[in-house]
Structure 1
Amino acid sequence: MSSVADKLARKQTRRPPAKQVRLRLVYVDFWSALKLSFLIAVCLAVVNIVATFLVYTVLSSTGIFENVNSLVKDVAGSGTDLLAIFSLGNVMGFAIVVSLINLVVTTVLGAIVAVLYNLSVKITGGILVGFTNN
């Protein structure tokens, strides 16, 4: 015969069945989506500015700008100077302007996606998401 302790030991080795929950995503808050898209856009802007600086630094230190400048002077004549056009200030200014435009566009697109999802939920009923407890 088995004792109570053996029965308790067998009960503890069994895994309880996993609980499953099925939820439906029927609404995305507009302001939350706007704030999240703005934060993502800020992160992308910082990455863009840092990457532009690093690429410019690598290209400048390897002498590629000087080689391209001498090639352009040989082909087009001595009137063009690419080193003046591609200075660090001009390149970083362009990167900042592009990052600001990207920030505005990404924020607006995040808001538009939230509105379009909320409108499409009225037709489709939303996205069914399943969760399980391990």
Structure 2
Amino acid sequence: MSTVADKLAKKSSSTTSSKQVRLRLVYVDFWSAVKISFLTAVAMAIVTVVSVFLIYMVLRTTNLLARLDEVVVAFTDGTFLLEEFLSLPQVMSFAAIVAILNLVVVTVLGAVIAGIYNMMVKVSGGLLVGFTSN
């Protein structure tokens, strides 16, 4: 009788011909790089806003901001209140501004990197990449 294990052993011992291909990456499409970097930046912006909101809520529920405000009041004789500057709308607007700036910077950086790579390929000949099929 032949078991499943015997069949698998026969199958794994047979030699399979794997084809190997070596390709050279000599061009990165500029608009594709811009689109990919923009989508990556959008994902990073969403993560930034959500994480700032969650961190603010954790600090608020643990009363850490109130304790920090007491320390600041002790040093400034009550002239500076930290709670005035760290309200939820102000924190979220700051997070949104940082996310928008990050969106612009990452998108431009992706375009610049694609341009630099395309110029470097003229000197170096490109990136050699190997692929195999099993």
Same fold (TM over 0.5): yes
Report deviation, 1:76: 1.2
Partner of residue 116, structure 1: 116
Which of these two proteins has the greater Rg computed from alpha carbons? 1
Q: CA deviation at 1:14?
A: 2.2
Map residues 21-100 of structure 1 onto 2, 5 A cutoff.
21-100=21-100
| C-alpha displacement of 1:66 | 0.5
What amino acid is aligned across from residue 110 of structure 1 in structure 2? G
2:125 alignment partner in structure 1: 125
Deviation at 1:11, TM superposition (A): 9.9
Q: 1:12-47, CA deviations, whole angstroms, 9 ceiling, x for partnerless residues?
A: 952222110000000000000000000000000000
Q: 1:69 to 1:122 in 2, by over 3 A?
A: same
Query: Which runs of 5 or more residues in structure 2 are unaligned?
Result: 1-9
Gaps of 5+ in 1: 1-9
Number of the residue aligned with 1:16: 16
Cα RMSD, aligned residues only = 1.6
Q: For 1:65-116, what per-residue CA distance to the aligned partner results, in whole angstroms no more than 9, with x for missing partners?
A: 1001111111111111110110000000000000000000000000000000
The alpha-carbon distance between structure 1 residues 126 and 83, as it changes in their structure 2 partners (threshold 3 A), is: same
> CA 1:12–1:42 in 2, change beyond 3 Å: closer, same or farther?
closer
Secondary structure in 1 matching 2:35: helix
Identity score, percent:
50
- 1:106–1:13 CA distance, 2 compared to 1 (3 A): same
Mapped partners of 2:69, 2:88: distance in 1: 15
State the TM-score, normalized to the length of structure 2.
0.89
SS in 2 for 1:132: strand
Distance 1:12 1:35, change over 3 A: closer
The secondary structure found in structure 1 opposite 2:66 is helix
Count of matched residue pairs: 125
TM-score by length of 1: 0.89
